[in-house]
C-alpha cells in the first residue's frame, strides 16, 4: 500500500529563520535520542527513553506557548523542554547518568530517569519563584496517564485567578490574569487509562485553558492500537465531547506528525482557543513514529511488521520536514544534511561533557578513599586485606558513589582488628560520604523551608468553666469559615457546596463565600485530586475532599506517584501543599470500613498524615497544615460529627503540633498507644480497668506521619514498663507500624517487663451493622481483656483467670 505525504497548505507565511532554527533543534534532538540508547548499551547509563519521532509536533507545541504557560508532559518531551529554554542538552544527559547535583540536573537532582523535567519553582530556601516569567515544566512522571490530573488543576488555577478578584494580591508570582495555558501530552495507548478519560470529561465540564496532545504512534509498547482504543482513534472515540454552537465541550484537532505546516496551524488555533476563550482542546497527532522503539529495554523489530517498519522510515517527521523545507524553497538538501551531521557532533560533545562532569563529581570521593587505602597499606603492612578491595574497585570502568561506599565498608570489615589512625580516618571518610549521599539521594522528603509545618508550635484548646456542648460538626463549620477568609483557600468535593457536605460541616459556607470557594464536583475522585494538586502548585491552598476514606483508592496512584513524592523527586524544586480531607474509622460495612491506614501511610510518604480523635483536634490540624507548606491528609472520625464536644473559647487559634502525642489519661501499670476513633474505645476500657485495679496510661499519637518526634511514648513506657498498641487497621498494619517506631527507633524494648502487644481488627473487611463493627474491630471488651491478660502474665496471683 502506497502512503500519501501531502503537506497542508494553510495559507500563512513562515519565517525562514524560525523554520531553520526548528530544523536544527529537530536534528539535534534526534541525535541526542540516538545517543541515549547507545549510552545505555555501553553500560554508562541505567535506562533510556527518548522522544525520537515526536520532534516536529513538540516543536509546533512549544512555538505556541507563551511565558507563564505550563507543560505537564510525559517521558518523551525533550524537544519541548529545549525549545522553551527549560532544558539544556547537558542537563538531558546529566539526568540520564543520574548526576545527583542540581547544578547539573536541576530537574530532579539525579532522582528521576531521563526525560522527566521540572522547572525549579522554589529557591534554595524553599520560597516560590516567579512562574509568570518562565515557560514552566510541571514535574515529569512515568506512571502512565498520571500527568493529566494535575494538568487539569494547573489549568483550573488560571480560571481561579481570572474569575476571582480577591486573588489579585496573591497572583504576581503565579498568573497574568488567568491567561496561561496548560499543555499536557500523552501517548495514544495511555489514553485508554481511566484517569485520562476522566480528565477529558472534567475539562469539558470546567471549561478551562488546557490543551491535551496525544502522540499517536499506533502502539502501546508492543500492543497495536486496535487493541487499545475504540475505532483505533482517540479523536473518533471522543467525538461526543466535541463542542457545538449550542453546547460546551472540547475542540478536537487531528493532524499528522510529519506535517509541519499543519502542526503549526493546529497548535496556534488550539492555544488561541484555550487562552482567549477557555475552550479545552485535544490535538490528536497521528502517524507518529518511534525510530528506536519504545525504550532501551527492547527492540520494536520483535513486534512490528516489515511493512510497518518501512512506514516508520518513510513517515519519519525529520525526513518529511526536510522535504517540506526544500519544497518551500527555504533551504536545500546539502545544507540540511550538513545540519544533520553537525547535530551528531554537537550531541556527542554534550554527552561527553555531561559524563565527564558526572565522573568528576565521583572522583573527588574516590581519591579520598584511595589516599586512606594507601595509608592503611603503609601503616598495617597487610596488603592481603586491602589489595583485593582495590582491585575490585579498579576493575570498574565507571565507579559510582555506591561502589565507593561498598569499598569503604568492606575495608572497615577487613581491618576490624586494627584501630590505628588510618582506620579512624576511614570511618570519618565513610561517615562524611554517607552524610553527603543522604543529602544526594534522600533529602527533601518534606519541606525544608522556614514555612514547614514542623516549625509550628501547638496551641491547646481552652475552655470556660462550664463550656457549651455542641455537635462536632459545628466546631468544624466555624473553623472552615475562618479558613475560607484566606483568598487562597478553597474547598472542592462531592456535595460540599449546596448541601454543605454530607455531614453538614460546611453548611451555609457556599452561600457566604460563593461557588468558586466551596465547589461541588462530579463523582470523579481522580480529577478532583488533580484539580487540587495542580492548583496548589500555583500558590493556592485547596482543601480537597474525598467523601469517605475508602474512596481514596480511586485516586491513590495520583496521590502516591505524583503528590506525595513531588518535593522529593524534584530535589526541592516543586511543591504541592494541598490538603486532602476525608472521614473514616468506625464505619460499618465492607466498602465503608474506613481504616486501611498502613496502606496509606506507607504509600504516601512525603505527606503529613493526621488522625484526629475529635473535631476540635481536626480543626487544629487543618490550621497547622494551612500555616505550613507541606501536603497533608486529615482523616476525620465519621462517628464524631454529632457527638457533643465542648466549644473551646479559643477555637480559632488552636494549632496541633505535628508528631507530638497527647496523654489523654495518666496511669502507672500499662501504656496504651492509639489514635482516632479508638481513643474513645480505649478511654472507656481504661475506666473499666480502673475498676479492676489497673491503672492505664492512654496516649493519642495524633499524627501517624510524623510519629512521636520527641519520644514521649518511650517516656511513658519507662514509667509503666508495659505497652499495648491498639488500632482498627488490619493485623500487621498500623499497630505493627507503631510498635516498630517505638521498639526499634525509640529503643523501648529494654524498658519492657512484659512483651509488647498489638490489638487490631480482624483480618477481613468489617461486616455490616453495629454487630459487624463490634465483632470485626476492637471493642471495649477486647481492650479490657487484652490488658488484663498482660497484667495476669506478670502477676497471676493478683489477676486470676476470668474465662478459664
Q: Which residues are identified as catalytic?
A: 592
Peptide bond into 706 cis (omega under 30): yes
- Contact present, 491 and 518 (Cβ < 8 Å): yes
What is the Cα–Cα distance from 121 to 352, expressed in whole angstroms? 29
How many helical (H) and strand (E) elements, i.e. helices and strands, does the chain have? 26, 22
Give the list of residues 6+ apart from residue 483 with CB closer than 8 angstroms, or none: 489, 543, 622, 623, 626
What is the Cα–Cα distance from 130 to 134, expressed in whole angstroms? 8
Q: How is residue 677 annotated by DSSP?
A: T
Residue (of 754, 676, 766, 124) closest to 443 by Cα position: 124
What is the Cα–Cα distance from 731 to 691, expressed in whole angstroms? 29
- Give the DSSP H/E element, type plus range, for residue 758: strand 757-759
Residue (of 93, 56, 51) closest to 74 by Cα position: 51
CA distances, 256 to each of 4, 53, 214, 309, 751 (Å): 12, 12, 11, 17, 71
Give the list of residues 6+ apart from residue 666 with CB closer than 8 angstroms, or none: 697
Q: Cell numbers 486496535 label which residue?
A: 226
Q: Cell numbers 465503608 label which residue?
A: 592
Give 535: exposed, middle or buried? Use CB within 10 Å, 0-12, 13-18, 19+.
Answer: buried
Chain-centre distance for alpha carbon 259: 36
Q: How is residue 468 annotated by DSSP?
A: P
What is the Cα–Cα distance from 232 to 538, expressed in whole angstroms? 36
Please give the angle made by the CA atoms of 220, 226 and 229, to the nearest 5 degrees: 75
Residue 278 zone, left/alpha/beta (φ > 0; ψ -120 to 50; rest): left
Give the list of residues 6+ apart from residue 261 with CB closer than 8 angstroms, or none: 7, 8, 9, 10, 12, 14, 324
Residue (of 184, 174, 183, 178) closest to 165 by Cα position: 178
What is the Cα–Cα distance from 400 to 405, expressed in whole angstroms? 9
Amino acid at each position: 500500500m502506497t502512503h500519501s505525504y501531502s503537506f497542508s497548505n494553510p495559507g500563512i507565511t513562515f519565517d525562514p529563520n524560525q523554520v531553520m532554527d526548528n530544523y536544527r533543534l529537530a536534528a539535534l534532538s534526534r541525535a541526542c535520542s540516538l545517543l541515549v540508547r547507545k549510552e545505555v548499551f555501553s553500560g554508562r547509563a541505567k535506562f533510556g527513553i527518548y522522544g525520537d519521532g515526536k520532534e516536529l509536533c513538540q516543536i509546533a507545541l512549544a512555538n505556541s506557548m507563551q511565558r507563564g504557560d505550563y507543560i505537564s508532559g510525559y517521558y518523551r518531551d525533550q524537544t519541548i523542554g529545549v525549545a522553551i529554554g527549560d532544558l539544556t542538552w547537558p542537563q538531558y544527559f546529566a539526568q540520564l547518568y543520574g548526576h545527583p547535583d542540581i547544578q547539573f540536573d536541576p530537574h530532579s537532582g539525579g532522582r528521576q530517569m531521563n526525560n522527566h523535567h521540572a522547572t525549579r519553582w522554589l529557591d534554595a530556601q524553599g520560597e516560590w519563584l516567579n512562574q509568570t516569567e518562565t515557560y514552566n515544566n510541571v514535574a515529569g512522571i512515568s506512571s502512565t496517564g498520571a500527568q493529566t490530573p494535575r494538568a487539569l488543576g494547573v489549568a483550573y488555577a488560571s480560571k481561579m485567578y481570572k474569575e476571582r478578584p480577591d486573588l489579585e494580591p496573591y497572583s504576581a508570582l503565579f498568573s497574568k490574569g488567568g491567561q496561561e495555558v496548560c499543555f499536557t501530552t500523552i501517548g495514544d495507548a495511555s489514553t485508554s487509562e481511566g484517569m485520562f478519560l476522566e480528565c477529558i470529561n472534567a475539562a469539558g465540564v470546567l471549561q478551562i485553558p488546557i490543551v491535551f496532545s496525544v502522540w499517536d504512534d499506533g502502539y502501546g509498547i508492543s500492543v497495536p492500537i486496535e487493541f487499545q482504543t475504540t475505532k483505533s482513534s482517540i479523536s473518533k472515540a471522543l467525538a461526543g465531547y466535541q463542542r457545538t454552537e449550542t453546547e460546551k465541550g472540547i475542540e478536537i484537532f487531528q493532524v499528522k506528525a510529519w506535517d509541519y505546516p499543519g502542526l503549526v496551524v493546529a497548535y496556534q488555533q488550539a492555544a488561541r482557543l484555550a487562552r482567549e476563550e477557555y475552550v479545552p482542546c485535544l490535538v490528536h497527532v497521528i502517524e507518529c513514529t518511534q525510530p528506536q522503539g519504545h525504550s532501551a529495554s527492547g527492540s520494536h523489530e520483535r513486534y512490528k511488521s516489515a511493512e510497518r517498519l518501512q512506514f516508520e522510515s518513510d513517515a519519519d517527521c525529520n525526513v518529511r520536514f526536510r522535504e517540506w523545507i526544500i519544497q518551500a524553497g527555504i533551504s536545500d538538501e546539502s545544507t540540511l544534511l550538513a545540519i544533520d551531521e553537525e547535530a551528531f557532533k554537537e550531541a556527542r560533545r554534550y554527552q561527553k561533557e555531561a559524563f565527564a562532569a558526572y565522573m568528576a563529581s565521583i572522583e573527588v570521593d574516590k581519591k579520598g578513599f584511595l589516599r586512606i587505602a594507601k595509608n592503611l597499606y603503609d601503616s598495617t603492612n597487610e596488603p592481603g586485606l586491602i589489595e583485593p578491595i582495590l582491585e575490585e574497585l579498579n576493575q570498574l570502568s565507571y565507579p559510582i558513589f555506591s561502589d565507593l561506599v561498598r569499598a569503604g565498608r568492606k575495608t572497615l570489615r577487613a581491618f576490624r582488628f586494627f584501630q590505628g589512625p588510618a582506620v579512624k580516618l576511614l570511618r570519618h571518610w565513610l561517615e562524611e560520604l554517607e552524610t553527603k549521599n543522604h543529602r544526594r539521594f534522600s533529602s527533601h522528603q518534606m519541606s525544608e523551608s522556614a514555612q514547614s509545618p514542623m516549625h509550628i508550635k501547638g496551641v491547646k484548646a481552652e475552655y470556660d468553666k462550664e463550656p457549651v456542648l455542641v455537635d462536632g460538626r459545628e466546631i468544624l463549620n466555624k473553623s472552615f469559615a475562618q479558613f475560607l477568609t484566606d483568598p487562597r483557600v478553597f474547598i472542592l468535593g462531592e456535595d460540599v457546596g449546596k448541601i454543605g457536605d454530607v455531614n453538614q460541616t460546611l453548611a451555609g459556607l457556599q452561600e457566604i463565600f460563593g461557588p468558586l470557594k466551596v465547589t461541588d464536583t462530579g463523582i470523579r475522585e481522580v480529577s478532583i485530586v488533580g484539580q487540587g494538586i495542580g492548583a496548589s502548585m500555583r500558590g493556592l491552598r485547596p482543601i480537597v475532599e474525598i467523601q469517605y476514606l475508602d474512596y481514596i483508592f480511586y485516586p491513590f496512584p495520583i496521590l502516591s506517584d505524583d503528590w506525595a513524592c513531588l518535593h522529593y523527586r524534584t530535589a526541592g524544586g516543586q511543591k504541592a501543599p494541598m490538603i486532602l480531607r476525608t472521614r473514616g474509622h468506625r464505619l460499618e460495612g465492607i466498602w465503608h470500613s474506613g481504616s486501611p491506614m498502613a496502606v496509606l501511610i506507607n504509600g504516601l510518604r512525603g505527606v503529613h498524615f493526621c488522625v484526629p480523635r475529635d473535631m476540635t483536634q481536626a480543626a487544629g490540624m487543618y490550621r497547622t497544615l494551612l500555616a505550613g507548606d507541606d501536603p497533608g491528609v486529615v482523616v476525620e472520625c465519621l462517628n464524631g460529627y454529632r457527638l457533643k464536644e465542648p466549644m473551646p473559647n479559643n477555637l480559632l487559634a488552636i494549632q496541633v503540633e505535628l508528631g507530638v502525642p497527647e496523654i489523654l489519661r495518666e496511669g502507672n501499670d500499662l501504656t496504651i498507644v492509639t489514635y482516632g476513633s479508638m481513643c474513645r474505645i480505649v478511654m472507656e476500657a481504661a475506666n473499666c480497668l480502673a475498676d479492676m485495679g489497673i491503672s492505664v496510661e492512654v496516649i493519642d499519637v495524633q499524627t501517624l506521619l510524623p510519629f512521636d518526634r520527641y519520644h514521649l511514648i518511650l517516656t511513658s513506657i519507662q514509667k509503666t514498663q508495659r505497652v499495648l498498641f491498639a488500632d482498627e487497621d488490619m493485623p500487621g498494619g498500623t499497630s505493627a507500624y507503631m510498635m516498630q517506631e517505638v521498639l526499634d527507633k525509640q529503643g523501648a524494648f529494654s524498658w519492657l517487663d512484659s512483651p509488647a502487644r498489638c490489638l487490631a481488627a480482624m483480618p477481613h473487611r468489617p461486616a455490616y451493622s453495629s454487630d459487624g463493627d463490634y465483632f470485626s474491630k476492637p471493642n471495649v471488651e477486647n481492650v479490657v481483656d487484652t490488658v488484663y491478660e498482660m497484667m495476669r502474665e506478670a502477676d497471676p496471683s493478683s489477676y486470676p483467670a476470668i474465662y478459664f
